[in-house]
Amino acid sequence: MTMNSEQKLGFIGLGVMGEPMCRNLARKSGRPILASDLDPAPLARLQAEGVQSATLEEILRDCDTIFLSLPSGEIVERLSRQPQGLLALARSGQTIIDLSTSPVSTTRELARDFAALGATFMDAPVARTRAAAEAGTLAVMVGGTPEHFARVRPLIATFASDIALCGGVRCGQVLKILNNMMLFEHVV
């Protein structure tokens, strides 16, 4: 799949971290963005950046690369497995990138199920604060193949300054867990 400036990007989840990440993606990627969230307020704010509100079906139909920024791995899994969810609508050649902090087992199972459809599922949990998301200086730990990483790294670089390929799918989640453990230990 060759990326060009005309191909639309999808972004699902515009909460505390998702909204500023989507804003930076819209400003810096040069690509049209279709976005979805249960709350219409961030969608209204992002309209000024050219982000278009879309349904899940429209995003999966029109976008080859889709970012997920959801509150938990349980919600990622629910959105993936529900009737008319991500797995029901995904097509061969798509790349779904989970920016959420999700369980390693969930990530592994979703990667397997998307691969059976010919789609790629990558984990890329983010670290740092909302201020870092707004500044485009997040840290992102990516799990995936070097080839897929090379393709999506320029997109992730629109909202992150520290981006590392940590190994195969699920390794981003493992490093995020270790990062959180060290952070919490340091705080305590």
The pLDDT tens digits of the residues spanning 79-92 come to 999 999 999 999 99
- The amino acid that residue 130 corresponds to is R
Helix (H, G, I), strand (E, B) or coil at 30: coil
Between CA 164 and CA 185 the distance in angstroms is: 23
Residues of the chain scoring pLDDT < 70: 1-6, 173-175, 177-181, 183-186
Q: Which residues are catalytic?
A: 176
What is the per-residue pLDDT across 98-118, written as a single tens digit (0 to 9) for each?
999 999 999 999 999 999 999
Q: What's the confidence (pLDDT) of residue 176?
A: 72
Helix (H, G, I), strand (E, B) or coil at 162: strand
Q: What's the confidence (pLDDT) of residue 3?
A: 42
Between CA 60 and CA 66 the distance in angstroms is: 8
pTM: 0.92
Q: What's the confidence (pLDDT) of residue 186?
A: 67
Q: What's the confidence (pLDDT) of residue 1?
A: 37
- The amino acid that residue 135 corresponds to is A
